Amino acid sequence: MKAFLILEDGHVFTGTAIGADKEIISEIVFNTSMTGYLEVLTDPSYAGQAVVMTYPLIGNYGICYEDMESKRPWPDGYIVRELSRMPSNFRSQGTIQEFLEKNEIPGICGIDTRALTQLLREKGTMNGMITRREDFDLEEILPKLKAYSPTGVVMATTCKEREVLPGDGYKVALLDLGAKKNIGDSLHKRGCEVNIYPADTKAEDILAANPDGIMLSNGPGDPKECTEIIKEIKKLYDSNVPIFAICLGHQLMALANGLDTHKMKYGHRGGNHPVKDLKTGRVYITSQNHGYVVDTDKLDPKVAVPAFVNVNDGTNEGLSYTGKNIFTVQYHPEACPGPQDSAYLFDRFLDMMAAGKNK
């Protein structure tokens, strides 16, 4: 069956329908990862977006539910060049086609994803529609595409109540802003007791539990939409508890301290982004998934200093807060998918908590 991807600039791509028989409007973004499509599909940061995979063959090793980064997939739609319908992998528990159908995610395959990605790079991220209707009316659809904006996605993806990963080590409060599973797992496997809190939890409730450290997770959407969460993060900043923040958490901590953020032309999404540690000069290959970035042009060194920078475009990739046991990164040290070069940051967080307890 035919399917169509219609972009807000009027471009129409014709391909074959995959996944659920459902029409959606979403923000169209691309991911350059060569593997890890299930982890991409189950990353809550994709809530409100439809994902284009630039790697041409997707689904060749099937679906292994153990590898999911959350309990369900989050993208509105899925766009690929070729979808493998006969996976070969001893761990496979089904096909990606079955997975998309089961979770009511529509998609399209058989289109030129290279041309689509080039278009998104040249014009920037655009909204689009995936539909199976051959009688679509562009004059009717295009205003709807331009009007679309994902909202409320943090509260849609966060946990609904406090969850605990038991451990005998440091007690960590993880604020779930749309957290990937491997963030909590990375702390848990280091012996931490991880208390996972919903995104709207009050700072007083988190601090009342006397955590040794606080983790702010990744998550979806425009950070400036999270006005109430930002107020609570400022209270966490004002405490003396060590804090480590990733991705959206990094952006919200910046906004809580008077910095600004802006939407990037097409964002960073993939497992091959080089990031330079400004203290050591070492470059790490990182996993990333974000469409917004912190502005550092007017950064007051009394508040924070840049700690990491993107080698490709010079955008900020992390901050170290002056006089505070707080550091934040834009990229994903927990990986999944992607390289694990930056996993040492979790050990650095443990060192910060150890120093805090020895005071």
Helix (H, G, I), strand (E, B) or coil at 40: helix
Give the CA dihedral 10, 15, 20, 22, nearest 10 degrees: 30
Q: Is 247 a catalytic residue?
A: yes
Helix (H, G, I), strand (E, B) or coil at 194: strand
Which of 27, 192, 332, 336 is flagged as catalytic?
Answer: 332
Question: Residue 234 is which amino acid?
Answer: K
Which of 193, 268, 334, 336 is flagged as catalytic?
Answer: 334
**In the Cβ-directed half-sphere of 78, how many Cα atoms lie within 13 Å?**
29
Sign for the CA dihedral angle at 320, 321, 326, 328 comes to negative
Q: Which of 283, 186, 177 is nearest to 236 (CA)?
A: 177
59, 97 contact by CB (below 8 A): yes
Six token digits for residue 30 = 């691309």
Residue 236, annotated ligand binder? no
172, 193 contact by CB (below 8 A): yes
Q: Is 268 a catalytic residue?
A: no
Six token digits for residue 150 = 């994902």
**In the Cβ-directed half-sphere of 331, how many Cα atoms lie within 13 Å?**
35
Residue 291, annotated ligand binder? yes
Question: Residue 342 is which amino acid?
Answer: S
- Residue 138: which residues within 8 A CB-CB, separation 6 or more? 6, 10, 12
Residue 107, annotated ligand binder? no
Give the whole-angstrom CA distance, residue 275 versus residue 277.
7
Residue 88, annotated ligand binder? no
Residue 330, annotated ligand binder? no
Six token digits for residue 349 = 């967080």
Residue 61, annotated ligand binder? no
Q: Is 334 a catalytic residue?
A: yes
Residue 149, annotated ligand binder? no
Helix (H, G, I), strand (E, B) or coil at 295: strand
- Residue 39: which residues within 8 A CB-CB, separation 6 or more? 67, 68, 69, 180, 336, 337
Residue 31, annotated ligand binder? no
Give the whole-angstrom CA distance, residue 337 versus residue 346.
17
Question: Residue 358 is which amino acid?
Answer: N
332, 218 contact by CB (below 8 A): yes
Which of 39, 247, 268, 317 is flagged as catalytic?
Answer: 247
Measured at the CA of 344, the angle between CA 259 and CA 319, to 5 degrees, comes to: 10
Binding residues: 45, 219, 221, 248, 251, 289, 291-292
Report the catalytic residues.
247, 332, 334
Residue ranges of the annotated binding site for L-glutamine are: 45, 219, 221, 248, 251, 289, 291-292
